[in-house]
Amino acid sequence: MVRKLKFHEQKLLKKVDFLNWEVDNNLHEVKVLRRYHIERREDYTKYNKLSRSIRELAQKIRDLNEKDGFRAQSTARLLEKLYGVGLIPTRENLALTEKVTASAFCRRRLPSVLVKLRMAQNLKTAVTFIEQGHVRVGPEIITDPAFLITRSMEDFVTWVDSSKIKQHVMNYNEQRDDFDLVV
């Protein structure tokens, strides 16, 4: 049995809803943070805002007159940009922009690309490799796991020359040069 609440307790409880908490409404957010091994929640909120603004822009373009030349030009430019970044699979039509979500941005993060390229077994080890400075994109060493990789940059993701992981992989594949042994 529960005792009857006093007047001041009832008044305080009017301000609090015990059935619906704001913290409970982010189950999808927590799943995405766990799945893509994102440590900073701010990154996810930025991806969410970006994806929302992309969808809004696409809706504004869709609302333009179909015969307008500006609509065709802006549609082509938006689809080209989104395809270049890797957020949509093809440049076919504007309906693909509805699938741009925060998860699409998360799939373009450097750890996800490392797993996709089979340079790491899972996202946690990929994040560890990146934070320890074993990975470079082009000539630059990347230590931030939130670094987004475009389709054109995907080919330039490699190990740092002085990385022990690169040496281990080359030994395993029997590709290590005698000059590398001296250095």
Q: pLDDT digit string (tens) for 30-71? A: 899 999 999 888 999 999 999 999 999 999 999 999 899 999
Q: Give the strand pairing for 157-159 and 140-141.
A: unpaired
Whether 75 and 113 share a structural domain: no
Of 105, 128, 149, the residue that ends a domain is: 105
How many Å apart are CA 68 and CA 169, to the nearest integer? 55
Whether 137 and 69 share a structural domain: no
Is residue 20 a part of any domain in this protein? no
- Predicted confidence (pLDDT) at residue 181 exceeds the cutoff of 70: no
How many Å apart are CA 117 and CA 149, to the nearest integer? 12
Structural domain span for residue 61: 27-105
Whether 91 and 152 share a structural domain: no
